[in-house]
Amino acid sequence: MNNLCGFGIPDGYMFNDQLYDGTIAKLALNNRIEIYECRLNCTHRFNLDFNSKMETCLFVCINMVDDAYVSLTHHDSLNVISPFSSVLIPYTGSVRLSFVFEAKKRYHFTLIKIARSHLEFNNTKLSRLFDTVSIGGEKNAISSAMPNLILCELASKLYRLDKTEAENKLIAAGYCNIILGLKLKEENLSEHTDLKANFFRSNEIKQLERLTQVIKENPECQYTIRDLCRSTGLSVTKLQSGFKNMHRCTVAIFIRNVRLEKAIDMLQTTNLNVSEIVYSVGLNSRSYFCRIFKKRFKCSPKTYQQKLRKNHLSSF
The domain ranges of the chain are 2-197, 202-314
Q: Say which CATH topology domain 2-197 has.
A: Jelly Rolls (2.60.120)
**Cα distances (angstroms) measured from residue 310 to each of 221, 265, 268, 273, 303:** 32, 17, 12, 15, 10
Same CATH topology for 2-197 and 202-314: the answer is no
pLDDT (tens digit per residue) in 214-240: 999 999 999 999 999 999 999 998 898
Identify the three-state secondary structure at position 165: coil
The residue among 48, 45, 170, 165 whose CA lies nearest residue 97 is 48
Q: How do 2-3 and 20-28 pair as beta strands?
A: antiparallel
Q: Say which CATH topology domain 202-314 has.
A: Arc Repressor Mutant, subunit A (1.10.10)
**Cα distances (angstroms) measured from residue 45 to each of 48, 68, 231:** 10, 14, 38
Identify the three-state secondary structure at position 232: helix
Q: Give CA angle at 91 (90, 94), nearest 5°.
A: 140
Q: Do residues 209 and 245 make contact, with C-beta atoms less than 8 angstroms apart?
A: no
pLDDT (tens digit per residue) in 10-63: 443 345 557 888 888 888 888 889 898 888 888 888 888 776 565 678 889 999
What DSSP letter does each residue of 273-290 carry, written as one string?
-HHHHHHHTT---HHHHH
- Per the document, the length of the chain is 316
What is the pTM (predicted TM-score) of this model? 0.66
**pLDDT, average across residues 64-81:** 81
